[in-house]
Amino acid sequence: MESTARDFLVDLLETPSPSGYETRGQRVWLEYVDQFADEVRTDDYGNAIAVHEGEADAPEIALTGHADEIGFIVRSIDENGFVRPGPIGGSDPSISRGQHVTIHAADGPVDGVVGQTAIHLREDDDEPEVSDLWIDIGAESEEEASERLEIGDPITFSSTVSWLSETRLAARGIDNRVGTWAAAEGFRAAVEAGAEATVYAVSTVQEEVGVKGAQMVGFDLQPDAAVVVDVGHAVDYPSAPSGKTSQMGLGEGPALGRGSSNHPVLFDALRSVADDRGIDVQVEALGRGTGTDADGFFTAAGGIPSQVVSVPNRYMHTPVELIDTDDLEGVAALLGGFASNAAEFAPFTVEI
């Protein structure tokens, strides 16, 4: 991976961006895309858009990823100064106990640990609920804790980026900072290729709480087609429940979603671009919806042809998500190739 793009990816991953609190991460993304966009803008909820102005009669294409990550929120503080969290998105309480966390308070970050009863003292090992968790910030009273944070402050795990090999990257929030990275890099490739299409790069908010940003942006832009980048379940590890999903593996290329929200013309177009450019791709069966922003875009304005492209990801919704950056670069190349030649595939209409 080229050094500037690598640094951008690390900056995104190291900037906390839980759903509803994406501002810091969006600033990082906008600063990067502003270098090669004709225009950048945001809406009232913080969705970020970069624009390449194309020819008047050419299609309009949106390349998108979501900025937000899962996390927790300060729900209450008890009389002994322990913070009781609530969920932001699909947070997994089973892997939360014993973790270092950061509470993002107005006066700066507050370090804490999610408590866990020592193994010597536990009588059972039931799966916890988020409501069972508590965060110890070293305070001895509600008053002391309240001087450092307040109700509604967001919380993220304190884990950061680890390069396990030249291309294997582990981090918190890979879902879905890698999607916004790919949208930006695909956009950059299209700009450098002089794309005739008008191309939007989009970093949406609040995907993890119901694809809310995608619905807003889809209604606002109403592009001719939207390609959504998210992560998909890689199941190439011990104990993976491989019978529950398509057989996706790291290092085998981006995965093209097929079925439900995924538009068949876009699927064929992206597979054609992959073939022409020698990009290995996998196919992911998604017969009941994608669980991504594609589900928000495709009905946002009377029907926007939409397609999800997944980055294979191990250990989704944990503090140690893992990808192969060769797959990620393949996604960016695929997006750039499609956006650069979008007119060849338009109109994006199912023939009956």
The amino acid that residue 325 corresponds to is: T
Binding-site annotation, residues for Zn(2+): 66, 175, 208, 230, 317
Q: Which of 22, 60, 207, 321 is catalytic?
A: 207
C-alpha to C-alpha distances, 96 to 7, 74, 183, nearest whole angstrom: 28, 15, 30
Q: Which is it for strands 60-66 and 225-233: parallel, antiparallel or unpaired?
A: parallel
Among the listed residues 105, 148, 104, the one whose alpha carbon sits nearest the alpha carbon of residue 16: 104
Rounded distance between C-alpha atoms, residue 300 and residue 294, angstroms: 10
Locus of tokens 């795990």: 157
Cβ atoms within 10 Å, residue 276: 10
Active site residue 207: yes
Sheet with 321-324, edge to edge strand ranges: 162-163, 168-171, 321-324
Residues identified as active-site: 207
